[in-house]
Chains A and B, each alone.
Chain A
Amino acid sequence: MLEIIGKVHKIIGPVVQARGIVNAKMLDLVEVGEDHLVGEIVKLEGEHAAIQVYEDTTGLAPGSSVYSSGLPLSVELGPGLLGTIYDGIQRPLEVIRDSSNSVYIQKGIHVPPLGREKKWDFKPGIEKGAKVEGGEIIGRLQETAFIEHRVLVPPDVKGTVAWVAKEGSYTIDETVMRVAAASGAETEVKLFQRWPVRKARPSRGRLPLRLPLITGQRVIDTLFPQAKGGTVVVPGGFGTGKTMIQHALAKWCDADIIVYIGCGERGNEMTDVLMSFPELIDPRTKRPLMERTIMIANTSNMPVAAREASIYTGITLAEYYRDQGYHVAIMADSTSRWAEALRELSGRMEEMPADEGFPAYLPTRLAEFYERAGMFETLCGSEGSISIAGAVSPPGGDFSEPVTQHTKRFVRCLWALDRQLANARHYPAISWLDSYSEYVDEIADWWQERSGGEWMDLRHRIMDLLQQEGKLQQVVKLVGPDVLPDTQRIILETCEMFKNAFLQQNSYDKVDMYCTPEKQIKMLRVILDFYKLGLENIKKGANIHQLRKLEVHSDIMRMKFSVSNDEIGKIDTIREKLHKSMQQVAEMYE
């Protein structure tokens, strides 16, 4: 299988220059040296090649052989992906741990991504003689308790079914179908297939976005919604809450499948997910969250070239489930570390740097990645989507740097994390003044239906108050709030309430960590009623202190914790109490 295609000439960290190269293609997967370190050809020039090596090159010496399989860097796609944690080039970390019997990741380990022993109960859904094309469903099997795995014809296969396996248990290596092409040549189809990570999997085409990706995070769903098939960027300085948001999405968003890419971040954060997800229950399926999750972990201290690949590995796995007709959500934490890997590799290859040392092709690469998101009509004729949330870690928390700026060009939703908010422990620290979502209009119908047609109006009213408050705060900073008339102080008061009682959401609180859309709507109504009735009362002569002292004020402030998702009727009670209390205040001035 592997042939020697050249010799190592020079080693510069993760980049290896090879000479005497024959018979190699750009992006071919190669193995380098005695340890058979995995790498990829990223540059070809005559008989010289640059190879980015996915493992630590310590000890590698010039003159070592370079081997190639002639194939590009690919992933294995089949049952067994869900619930697994991989490194950036799809090596299963748990298998590595158990087979090497070490807590460390040694070099030169080769294990297949998908287990070869496990048998799956395959139910064929097609008959001999049928015409099939790439992407078609030929059978099904239960991958996890809730996720049905749809076995697909590989995209490049087409023809007549010459033979199909009977219903039964098969390993992924066994052939379950043979397809005869027009020429008569037969292709064996198995329960798994391979696909090169740097190439998007085909679909029939894009569909318009119309569904929100519900996250259970109020500031997101209500103010800056993400769409199924949409893209969002989350920039923020260190400790402002990017990872917490990504984790919240992975836990609670209403996608069918989650692909979580830990790209150049902390080991403990991956451990956290690994420990908590098997225990957390998906509110919709009532099954452990791990059963719908695939994790890619290439932590900051793992080889930098594999970090570069991890993003592509992740999105290719996502596309495979999309092709089966699922809604997939990807979290990439952090795309800055990916861009830095790109920069490091580019620097080692002595390419001309552009902005801040990043290669000139950074924007192209970013665009290619985010363009793989969307709502699609799949080759099997159903609807599937990929939504991407990418975290960005700007140096010094300064959003004017290249990765933030370029990413903003390719995504349509921005959750800007604010250092001041994070320092004040206002979490999620998503700034309501700097963030935006271009999806509001596209997904509005969904919300209108659930709110008796009120959602757009509620949302506009609160956004408007927040804008007004922003301006009033400028004044307050100079002269204090006391000089403002109460008709304006009620705006400050309502926004203060909205920030505390609605926007802030504690990910560690059992009740508050997830908030249903219905609860969000009810909470928002109460807060806006407080404003409306309060303003009326002030106009009648009441003052702001009276309103703050109302007992119901406290009830509203605590409703996010005190009312759980399955007893939201209690918010109606609070609302009634609000109306009554306000009525009593009004009566004092009538």
Chain B
Amino acid sequence: MRNGDGMKENKLMEGREYIGISQVTGPLVFVKGIHNVGFNELAEVVDSSGHVRLGMVLEASDGAAVIQIFEGTSGLSIPDTRVRFRGEPLMFGVGSEILGRVFNGIGQPIDGGPPPMIEEMMDVNGLPINPTAREYPRKCIQTGISAIDGMNALVRGQKLPIFSGTGLPHNKIVAQITRQAKIVGEDVQFAIVFAAMGIKHDVSRYFVSNFEASGVLEKVVFILNLADDPSVERMVTPRVALTAAEYLAFHENMHVLVILTDMTNYCESLREISTVREEIPSRKGYPGYLYSDLSSIYERAGMVKGFSGSITQMPILTMPNDDISHPVPDLSGYITEGQIVLERELDQRNIYPPIAGLPSLSRLMKDGIGEGMTRGDHAHIASQLFAAYSHVKDVRALAAVIGEEELTPLDKVYLDFGNRFEREFLSQGEYEDRSIFQTLDIGWKVISYLPKEELHRISEEELNKYYGK
């Protein structure tokens, strides 16, 4: 991203350079005796060996500034450190050549290739989209996974996170989605922006080889901040990624799928900075503005008027202790348009994908399904599957207390339905790509194990047409 600086020369000259800092605390550097430094602007901090680190102004006042250093502060000394203020926030140089390239967490190329041609420098913080300029997302993405397509359909332009836990196969599922995602009746290929925040090298490798195998590598932009990279950098990694996505979607009119993994690591970095700044913590030590901060990331999804591109977000986050009420999943759930929740119990029973039946939800599904988009019976069969499966959960709880033999005959039928639902509908192969119609047909097959009179959410006509067929 450095090479676009030619045009910024003038501004750089304006930026003053200061020698000596007054204090270093954790990732923060305090500078005194400065003038005219703007809030949120980019700073270059140069240590005695001439190594340049980037940082961002968190607090600016007359004569003093607090800078957060992305790379960390080890090796910085008070008298020898020089600080240059750039007069602008962190920018990412975008252009169509970013496709197929690998960048570090603050957007510098790290794949050894030549610097990509830059068409525009964009502020990584982005701007809020005017709600009146948004286009409501309506096109269903077929992922080939029944639990998603049938019951929690993903819509192009949606932000739908995966709430997972350590050791659960979220990476496999996301990889499967990126392999299989298509729009029914359209021939579009998704560009993928893959942002890694504090994930392990082998996870990153897994994705690279998956993209390689499906031959889409040149359609992927990687923004990588891995587990051993500076954690403060993570603060901007998703923003760099979304800047790339916005460029591809709203300049190049591409359909972009953004994968952000793992948002829990991002939030931890945010907490770290907040703690060092001695801010008043809210729940579990996370800052009170975590919600606003997360929404400045998640809201950068969708479609806008005048452009045919779209940004679909699939953030992955691991719920600490599998606890969905932990601030990270909780606040994410309050911002995203639903969630795909993975369930450890299903995983232990060897059901792949272990997508929890009840807590998963796609809020945009309603507008993307139905006659002309998927099939007329889609909404009702999905709703009936939810209702029936929810009863299964009650029956199982009861059976655990009184024993299966004591259940009413009808409840026994429900138990049977529940098992078939999990084995036949939920569960499928990692490389099994089911069409939406196959998914719906399997749905009907399993629901037909229940007596007709139990199916109140399905209309008479639909029952006649599909029940038991």
A interface with B by C-beta (< 8 Å): 9-13, 17, 19, 56-63, 85, 93-94, 96-97, 102-106, 237-239, 262, 264, 266-268, 270-272, 274-275, 297, 299-302, 304, 337, 340, 343-344, 347, 353, 356-357, 393, 395-398, 423-425, 476-482, 500-501, 506, 508, 548-549, 553-554, 557-558, 561
Contact pick for A96, options B130, B136, B366, B459, CB 8 Å: B130
Contact pick for B59, options A11, A19, A268, CB 8 Å: A11
User: Are B386 and A424 in contact, CB atoms less than 8 angstroms apart?
Assistant: yes
Q: List 18 A-B contacts (CB under 8 A).
A: A9-B62, A10-B61, A11-B38, A57-B40, A58-B125, A60-B39, A61-B38, A97-B130, A97-B133, A104-B129, A238-B333, A238-B334, A268-B134, A274-B132, A340-B288, A344-B292, A353-B280, A482-B406
Contact pick for A59, options B38, B63, B250, B402, CB 8 Å: B38
* Min CB gap A7→B, angstroms: 8
User: Bound state CA distance, A424 and B393, in angstroms?
Assistant: 10
Contact pick for A500, options B41, B283, B407, B456, CB 8 Å: B456
Q: Apart from A58-B39, A62-B35, A268-B302, list 12 A-B contacts with CB within 8 A.
A: A58-B40, A60-B39, A61-B60, A62-B61, A85-B132, A105-B128, A237-B333, A266-B335, A270-B134, A272-B136, A424-B358, A478-B402
Interfacial chain A residues near B22, Cβ < 8 Å = none
Interfacial chain A residues near B137, Cβ < 8 Å = 268
Interfacial chain B residues near A57, Cβ < 8 Å = 39-40
User: Bound state CA distance, A454 and B246, in angstroms?
Assistant: 59
User: Are A395 and B330 in contact, CB atoms less than 8 angstroms apart?
Assistant: yes
Interfacial chain B residues near A476, Cβ < 8 Å = 398
User: Are B131 and A480 in contact, CB atoms less than 8 angstroms apart?
Assistant: no
User: Bound state CA distance, A239 and B406, in angstroms?
Assistant: 35
Contact pick for A480, options B130, B325, B402, CB 8 Å: B402
User: Bound state CA distance, A9 and B38, in angstroms?
Assistant: 11
- B 335-348 to A, binary, CB cutoff 8 A, 1 in contact else 0: 10111000000000
Contact pick for B390, options A297, A393, A425, CB 8 Å: A425
User: Are B299 and A267 in contact, CB atoms less than 8 angstroms apart?
Assistant: yes
- B 125-169 to A, binary, CB cutoff 8 A, 1 in contact else 0: 111111111111100000000000000000000000000000000
B interface with A by C-beta (< 8 Å): 35-41, 59-63, 88-89, 123, 125-137, 250, 279-283, 288-289, 291-292, 295-296, 299-300, 302, 304-307, 325-327, 330-331, 333-335, 337-339, 358-359, 361, 363-364, 366, 379, 383, 386-387, 390, 397-398, 401-402, 406-408, 411, 453, 456, 459-460
Nearest A residue (CB) for B387: A425
Nearest A residue (CB) for B302: A268
User: Bound state CA distance, A10 and B36, in angstroms?
Assistant: 11
* Min CB gap B326→A, angstroms: 8
User: Are B325 and A397 in contact, CB atoms less than 8 angstroms apart?
Assistant: yes
User: Bound state CA distance, A302 and B460, in angstroms?
Assistant: 47
Interfacial chain B residues near A60, Cβ < 8 Å = 38-39, 60
User: Bound state CA distance, A230 and B63, in angstroms?
Assistant: 52
User: Bound state CA distance, A12 and B361, in angstroms?
Assistant: 37
User: Bound state CA distance, A353 and B299, in angstroms?
Assistant: 29
Nearest B residue (CB) for A302: B128
Interfacial chain A residues near B135, Cβ < 8 Å = 271
Contact pick for B453, options A9, A299, A302, A554, CB 8 Å: A554
Interfacial chain B residues near A10, Cβ < 8 Å = 59-62
User: Bound state CA distance, A563 and B304, in angstroms?
Assistant: 39
Interface centre among B130, B289, B300, B338 (most CB of A within 10 A): B130
* Min CB gap B397→A, angstroms: 7
User: Are B339 and A239 in contact, CB atoms less than 8 angstroms apart?
Assistant: yes
User: Are B325 and A398 in contact, CB atoms less than 8 angstroms apart?
Assistant: yes
Nearest A residue (CB) for B401: A478
Given contacts A94-B132, A105-B130, A271-B134, contact A62 B37 (CB under 8 A): yes
Contact pick for A549, options B134, B326, B337, B453, CB 8 Å: B453
Interfacial chain A residues near B36, Cβ < 8 Å = 61-63
User: Are B402 and A479 in contact, CB atoms less than 8 angstroms apart?
Assistant: yes
* Min CB gap A390→B, angstroms: 16
Given contacts A94-B132, A270-B131, A481-B408, contact A396 B330 (CB under 8 A): yes
* Min CB gap B151→A, angstroms: 10
User: Are A239 and B333 in contact, CB atoms less than 8 angstroms apart?
Assistant: yes
User: Bound state CA distance, A397 and B325, in angstroms?
Assistant: 7
User: Bound state CA distance, A250 and B363, in angstroms?
Assistant: 19
User: Bound state CA distance, A130 and B105, in angstroms?
Assistant: 72
User: Are A104 and B128 in contact, CB atoms less than 8 angstroms apart?
Assistant: yes
Nearest A residue (CB) for B37: A61
Nearest B residue (CB) for A473: B394
Interfacial chain A residues near B453, Cβ < 8 Å = 548-549, 553-554
User: Bound state CA distance, A500 and B453, in angstroms?
Assistant: 13
Nearest A residue (CB) for B332: A238
User: Are B288 and A344 in contact, CB atoms less than 8 angstroms apart?
Assistant: yes
User: Bound state CA distance, A42 and B61, in angstroms?
Assistant: 19
Nearest B residue (CB) for A62: B62
User: Are B134 and A267 in contact, CB atoms less than 8 angstroms apart?
Assistant: yes
**Nearest 5 A-B pairs (CB), nearest first?**
A10-B61, A300-B295, A396-B325, A238-B333, A424-B390
Interfacial chain A residues near B128, Cβ < 8 Å = 104-105, 267, 299, 301-302
User: Are A63 and B136 in contact, CB atoms less than 8 angstroms apart?
Assistant: no
Interface centre among B123, B129, B137, B386 (most CB of A within 10 A): B129
User: Are B131 and A267 in contact, CB atoms less than 8 angstroms apart?
Assistant: yes
Interface centre among A11, A93, A501 (most CB of B within 10 A): A11
Nearest B residue (CB) for A243: B363
Interfacial chain A residues near B63, Cβ < 8 Å = 62
User: Are B330 and A59 in contact, CB atoms less than 8 angstroms apart?
Assistant: no
